[in-house]
Structure 1
Amino acid sequence: MRRRPLILLGGVLALLALLPLIVTHDPIAQDLAGALGEPSTQHWLGQDHLGRDVLARLIHGAPRSVGLAAACIGFAALVGTLLGLCAAWWGGWGESLIMRGVDLLLAFPGILLALLLVGLLGGGAVPLVIGLTLTQAPPFARLSRAIVAGELLSTHVEAARLAGFGAGAIFRHHLLPPLLPLLLPQLTLGLGTTIMTIAGLGFLGLGLTPPTPEWGAMIAEALPYLTEAPWQTAAPCIGLFIVTLSATLIGRAALPKSRDGEA
């Protein structure tokens, strides 16, 4: 049962990655004669202020917006989980040092910290991944530290230590099994937040380099023409809503069940 949300999430990401293969329009090709063109059989969602096909830009922007968010949250989960594992395993001053660093990151609003890092490093995919990894890693660190610290006090872990099992075997057989089911909902719920953060940074001009299609940048470009061509703004907004809602629902489905059967 725990695999269903992960399979569903993988299916959504694979679909978004394959959609650009079925679109024939070039997302960056300009047709100034058709600028702000209304939806038609040739351009289902119309054309933007430079005559580019809105549907093509929406679909080609999906794997960039969502794929980049998936990469960010994946790195954040890896980094945060490792920090939490190390903090719980070492204890003492090592735990205090790691967790105080995590608390320091949590003291900054996530969007502002990402904005600061991306602004200092410049726009592009790499600064986005670095900035959003730092902003999304603390919840994973706190979750993994709390779960692992409790497991380390259990009798089966103490028995494994007394039996001479190494740290790797203890992590693999006794610490990761109770941790992984709780990481999946955190990962999927964090994916929705990261998608919105990337769109916000793209809206501010700190996302991917133009003319690369990206949903946040598409909203910013279409905003001056909201009254003349509302479909330009509506298309990426609806895309963000659907993808974020899907990630949230998958995260909800991945939550562990309580004893009475409710999440």
Structure 2
Amino acid sequence: MTYASPVSQSGSLRHWLADPHPTSPFQARMHQSWRMWRKLRRNGSALLGLAILFVIVIAAVFAPLLSTHDLFAQDLGNRLSLPSAEHWFGTDELGRDIYSRLLYGARITLYIAALTAVISAPVGLVVGAVSGYFGGWIDTVLMRVTEVFLAFPSLILALAFVSALGPGINNAIIAISLTAWPPIARLARAETMIIRRSDYISVVRLQGASALRIITRHVMPMCVPSVIARVTLNMASIILSAAGLGFLGLGAQPPSPEWGAMLSSARQFILSNGFVAAAPGMAILLTSIAFNLVGDGLRDVLDPRHD
């Protein structure tokens, strides 16, 4: 006797995923993921953003294979050369290949953006959930602290923190993270204030669940979809802040191929050799636009009102 999987019984994987009556928790999760993918697939701008991000991630991961020159090799006799078959994006003021440096610079930019998101998202989620659930003086204290951070432009505040900590990539990540969590906290607080009045939260509370358990097991998971969409939208500002710090010499230090640092060294040649600054500038622009497009798509997909 042979065993027939749910996929073969339904006739196709697509039919099994789209089954409106899932028979197991696994199928329910797959069904929800399938519905989200179908909604995202109908969003052309989100798919465009995903495609751009995919290309950037592939370029960063396989930079050693895709690069054509040593990113640190200098050739002063071939400095500021125009794009050619040998140097696809030309060379900079020290004769270094711009294309190869862009590939490795994508690694630094994605590293800063990812690590900043990993740090700021949990902090903002916890602060917002605790503030929104307890209310009272706890909410007042936490929100006043949050508003102090929101009172300053993010780049100015990041400049202040990184000036105190010292230049460098790791200090730049810490400084940007300290400016990125307040909007997430405000969003999580608003979501929590709605969720805490739900009937199922009242039932869980009547069953004797502690406040810590309610927040971690019931409130925070409900806030995660909105936080994910918000963090994705914040990626563009994180990348711009990282590039701004690098441009001012407070982020990645030379000879690191960080895009902001590349712009800083190329700014004196913008009028005479604009291609030197155009390459890292376009890389920052495309990456920021891609994250914004994906964030808009995720916001629509994760919002139940858009079913």
The answer to whether TM tops 0.5 is: yes
- Quote the offset at 1:259 in angstroms: 7.4
Note the aligned Cα RMSD (angstroms): 2.4
The alignment status of 1:232 with 2:273, answered yes or no, reads no
Q: 1:189-204 residue pairs with structure 2 within 5 A? A: 189-204=233-248
1:165 is aligned to: 209
Aligned length: 262
1:31 is aligned to: 75
Q: Which moved more, 1:67-76 or 1:214-223?
A: 67-76
Contact 2:105 2:259 survives alignment (8 Å): yes
Deviations 1:35-90 (A, max 9, x none): 11121111111111101000011111011023202211331111111111121233
Q: Which amino acid aligns with 1:256?
A: D
In the aligned structure 2, how far is the partner of 1:206 from the partner of 1:30?
24
- Quote the offset at 1:230 in angstroms: 1.4
2:7 is aligned to: none
SS in 2 for 1:44: coil
In the aligned structure 1, how far is the partner of 2:98 from the partner of 2:60?
17
Q: Which amino acid aligns with 1:20?
A: A
Of 81, 85, 103, which residue of structure 1 is paired with 2:125? 81
Deviations 1:114-161 (A, max 9, x none): 011111211112211111111110011011111112211222101101
- Quote the offset at 1:26 in angstroms: 1.3
Question: Any gaps of 5 or more consecutive residues in structure 2?
Answer: 1-34, 41-45
In the aligned structure 1, how far is the partner of 2:56 from the partner of 2:115?
11
The alignment status of 1:49 with 2:98, answered yes or no, reads no
TM-score by length of 2: 0.79
Q: Which amino acid aligns with 1:181?
A: P
- Quote the offset at 1:173 in angstroms: 4.7
Contact 2:50 2:290 survives alignment (8 Å): no
In the aligned structure 2, how far is the partner of 1:53 from the partner of 1:70?
26
Q: Which moved more, 1:224-233 or 1:238-247?
A: 224-233
Q: 1:117-196 residue pairs with structure 2 within 5 A? A: 117-167=161-211, 169-196=213-240
Larger radius of gyration: 2
SS in 1 for 2:300: coil
Contact 1:182 1:256 survives alignment (8 Å): no
TM-score by length of 1: 0.91
Contact 1:181 1:256 survives alignment (8 Å): no
Question: Any gaps of 5 or more consecutive residues in structure 1?
Answer: none
SS in 2 for 1:255: helix
